[in-house]
Amino acid sequence: MTRILVTTHPFGEKENLPRETLQNQGYEIRYNAVGRKYKKEELMKELKDFSPEIILAGTEKYDSETLSYCPKLQCISRVGIGVDGIDFEECAKRGITVLNTPDAPSNAVAELTMGHMLNMLRKIPYMDQKMREGSWERYIGRDLSESTVGIIGYGRIGKLVYKKLSGFTPKNIYVNDIDLDQLNGLNSSQIANLEKVLEESEIITIHIPLDEKSKNLITKKELDSMKKNALLINTSRGGIVNEKDLINWLKENPEASAAIDTFLDEPYNGEFVKLENCYLSPHAGSCTEKSRLDMELGAVLNAMEFIKKMKNEK
């Protein structure tokens, strides 16, 4: 009987179909027991105790040390897009297949990005808080239609942000991507290098994977080149923007603000929570009913297809 460990959380909370699909196959299944992202020590204990052949993974990291606790592992089926936490070289050495669901969460992340964008321009939570405190304080915000927006990364999510953003008719949209082929079809006046995006945009939104090239892409130098009232959105991965540098920049520039959905260490409870010009969400980009169902069921079907293929090859 194939042993499947579901490490991601939540899983099947809004729609039970992913669990039903798994359970109907006769697999031996163990679900996330802590109700949140596993800490490394918790994950290693779970791997050692259960010895899975398949993992339906969240954003936890699988490095050489962690993988050594599951010698029977054959496949990591990621619930979502990002695979930056998985050591592909180590997986290749151990014969572990890595799968993901790249399309499933894209629209939900793009919509959260737009929500953060509009929220920061109008400071909706700030006004809500003031009213609850008994203060009728109307914040004078900015129009998206009067703003220049820079999109860093023009893959699945970046393209969707561009499409949704275009309906608001911003003053300019600049797009930057390492992969120039991704930019095909854009007007040449919209394609910009990173320096231009940072220097000329009122709003900057990041949609790139975390890898060696993008790690600490935005540090003090880049932040200091931005407008003093710029809005920065990161719904991609913690580590792309240097957190210490961003905290200092937000303190030095109270008219600026940042919206952050992903962090180096999650769950997060660091200094960002003390900053009034920082808007936080708990890695919730994919957390819509449709997105979660598509990701969870997609990861289940990927795993089932892998199991079927392995059986056919025996």
Tens digit of each residue's pLDDT (9 = 90 or more) over 115-167: 999 999 999 999 999 999 999 999 999 999 999 999 999 999 999 999 999 99
Among 237, 243, 292, 296, the one annotated catalytic: 237
What per-residue confidence (pLDDT) applies to 181?
Answer: 74
Establish whether 283 is a catalytic residue: yes
In the set 156, 283, 292, 296, the catalytic residue is 283
* Other residues' Cβ atoms within 10 Å of the Cβ of residue 271: 15
Amino acid 192: pLDDT? 94
As a whole number of angstroms, the distance between CA 183 and CA 173 comes to 13
According to the model, what pLDDT value does residue 310 have? 87
- What's the pTM? 0.90
Catalytic residue, from 42, 111, 200, 266: name it: 266
Structure confidence by residue, pLDDT tens digits, 35-50:
999 999 999 999 999 9
- What pLDDT, on a 0 to 100 scale, did the predictor assign at position 82? 87
CA-wise closest residue to 62 among 100, 30, 13, 27: 100
pLDDT higher at 266 or 97: 97
Distance of CA 159 to the CA centre of its chain: 15
pLDDT at 201: 98
What pLDDT is recorded for position 96?
98
pLDDT higher than 90, residue 175:
yes
Average pLDDT over residues 228-253: 97
207 is catalytic: no
Is 300 or 178 the better-scoring residue by pLDDT? 300
Find all residues with CB under 8 Å of 153, minimum gap 6, and list them: 176, 177, 206, 207, 208, 236
Residue-range domains of the chain with CATH: 3-101+289-313 (3.40.50.720), 106-280 (3.40.50.720)
Spatial separation of the C-alpha atoms in residues 41 and 266, rounded to whole Å: 14
Check residues 140 and 186 and name the one with the higher pLDDT.
Answer: 140
Active site residue 237: yes
Residue 183 pLDDT: 82
